[in-house]
Amino acid sequence: MPIRVNNPGLLTTIQDAGRHGYSHLGISSCGAADSLAYRIANLILGNEENAAALEMTLLGATLEFEDAAVVAVTGADCDCRLNGKVTPMWQAIEVAPGEVLACAGMKTGARAYLAAQGGFAVTPVLGSASTDRAGHFGGYRGRKLLKGDLLRIRQQRAAKSRRARRLQTNPLDTLYPPSPIRVTRGTQQDLFGREAFEKFFSRAYVVSDDSDRSGLRLKGEAIRPLSASQFITDGIPLGAIQVPPDGQPIILFVDQQTTGGYLKIANVIAADMHRIGQLRPRDSVRFAEVTMAEALESVRQQEEWLKTILRS
C-alpha cells in the first residue's frame, strides 16, 4: 500500500496551503513556498486545492510506489524519471504498481511539488498538513522525509469524480517572468530616506547560501535607515523585507518568526510571493515598487488566470 522513500532528496517536506490562524501563538503559517506551483499540481489532478503534497528542494526525491497512483510534478525544472524513463512535469503521470519515480536536481528554480491524486494522507495538526520544523509537528512526524519513510495516499471515496486534466498552455512564462520582484513600501517606510529606496530599487541583490524557508538573506549594497534607532518588536507579515543593522536585506518567508525587531523597508506583493519560493542561493534579484492598488489588482488577475489554465 505505501509509497517508500528510497531517497529523500535534500529537503523534502509535506506542505499544504498553510496553517493560518495561530500567529498570535507564535506559530508560523508554513505551507508551500511556491503556492502557485503547488496549487496547479492539485488542479491538474482534480484534487482539493489544499491537498497535502511533497515539497522538494533543489534535489528531488525518489519514491517507490507499491500500488498504482496518479501524480503530478510542478515547480522548479527537475529531471523526472519513471522507471528510468523521462516523464514530463506539469501533467498527470500514471504510476503502475512497483514503479519508481525519481526526481533529480533542479536546473532552474529551487522547489518542485509532487502531488498525488487524492492527496498525501497525514493527520492535520491545527487545521493543516504542513510541516512545522520549528515546532517539530505537522506533516510527516514534524520533520523532513528520510530514507525508508512510508507515505500513504488518501483513498478517494469518489475516485471516479476526480479526473486529471491537461494545462492549456505552458504556464512557466506567466508564473516565473524575468521581471523584478514587485513590492510595496513597508509600514516603516518613513524611517528610510529617499537614498535608501533609490538604492533598494536600482541595485541587484544576490541570494546568500544562508537562506531557507524562514528567510532569504540577500547580499548587496547596504541599506541604511535615516537613524540607527532601535525599533520596538512588532508583527511580521509574509514577505516582509527586513533591514538588520548590517544593511543586508532579509526576505522573511513561509517558516518565518511571527514577530521581530528589525526595520522593514518593503513587502513582497501577494501575486509575486510564489516567485520567492523559487529563488536559489546565488540567484540575482531586483525589486520594483508598485502601489497597493496595483498589488491587489495583480492578485485578482492571477486568480482569474488560474481559472483559465486547464483545458476543458
Partner 1 sequence: MISLFRALLELRDARIRNLHPAYASLLIDFDPRKSSHEKLAGLVEKLARQRRPERARAPSVVTIPVCYDTEFGLDLLDVAKSANLSPEEIIRQHSSATYLVCFLGFSPGFAYLSGLPAALRLPRLDTPRKNVKAGTVAIAGSQAAVYPVDSAGGWRLLGRTPVRMFDPEVTPPARLVPGDAVKFVPIDRAEFDATFDKLSNTTPGAKSETTPEAMERP
**Residue 237 in the binding site for partner 1 (CB under 8 A):** yes
Record the cell numbers describing residue 171, joined without a space. Answer: 504556464
Reduce the DSSP state of residue 66 to 3 states and report it.
coil
Q: How far is the CB of 85 from partner 1 (least distance, A)?
A: 28
The single residue among 102, 260, 265, 277 that binds partner 1, judged by CB under 8 A, is 260
Give the dihedral sign, CA 299/138/28/110: negative
Residue 137 is a binding residue for partner 1 (CB under 8 A):
yes
- 243 burial (CB, 10 Å; 0-12 / 13-18 / 19+) is buried
Total chain residues near partner 1 (CB under 8 A): 49
- Least distance to partner 1, CB of residue 135, Å: 4
55 binding partner 1? (CB under 8 A):
no
- 219 touches partner 1 by CB under 8 A: no
With residue 250 as reference, give the H or E element that holds it.
strand 250-252
Residue with smaller CB distance to partner 1, 142 or 281? 142
Q: Which residue, 46 or 138, has its beta carbon nearer to partner 1? A: 138
Among 254, 253, 45, smallest CA distance to 130 is for 254
Question: Which residues 186-215 are close enough to bind partner 1 by CB under 8 A?
Answer: none
- What is the C-alpha separation between 115 and 56, in angstroms, rounded? 11
Nearer to partner 1, 107 or 160 (CB): 160
Residue numbers 147-166 binding partner 1 by CB under 8 A:
150, 152-155
Q: In this structure, how many other beta carbons lie within 10 angstroms of the beta carbon of residue 173?
A: 9
Considering only CA atoms, which of 18, 12, 13, 14 is closest in space to residue 31? 18
Q: Are 55 and 12 in contact (CB under 8 A)?
A: yes
* Residue 292 interacting with partner 1 (CB under 8 A): yes
CA distances from 21 to 30, 49, 136, 175 (A): 12, 19, 18, 27
User: Of the candidates 93, 102, 112, 238, which one interacts with partner 1 according to CB under 8 A?
Assistant: 238
Report, in Å, the least distance between residue 242 CB and partner 1.
Answer: 14
Question: What distance in Å separates the CA atoms of residue 77 and residue 175, rounded to the nearest whole number?
Answer: 13
Write out the binding residues for partner 1, residues 117-136 only, by CB under 8 A. 121-123, 125-126, 132, 134-136
Which helix (H) or strand (E) element contains residue 103? strand 100-116
Q: Which is nearer to partner 1, 59 or 306 (CB)?
A: 306
Q: How far apart are CA 258 and CA 234, in angstroms?
A: 9
Give the Cα separation of 173 and 52 in Å (integer).
Answer: 26
Q: Which of 164, 167, 191, 299 binds partner 1 (CB under 8 A)?
A: 299
Rounded distance, CA 210 to CA 217, Å? 6
Nearer to partner 1, 22 or 197 (CB): 22
Residue with smaller CB distance to partner 1, 30 or 76: 30
Considering the complex, state which of residue 76 and residue 213 has its C-beta at the smaller distance from partner 1. Answer: 213
Within 8-37, the residues that bind partner 1 by CB under 8 A are 20-29
DSSP annotation of 133: T
Of 99 and 132, CB closest to partner 1:
132
State the minimum distance, in angstroms, from the CB of residue 149 to partner 1: 10
Q: Cell for 14?
A: 509535506
Pick the binder of partner 1 from 177, 234, 245, 288 (CB under 8 A). Answer: 234
Residues that bind partner 1 (CB under 8 A): 1, 20-29, 121-123, 125-126, 132, 134-138, 140-143, 150, 152-155, 232-238, 257-260, 270, 292, 295-296, 299-300, 303
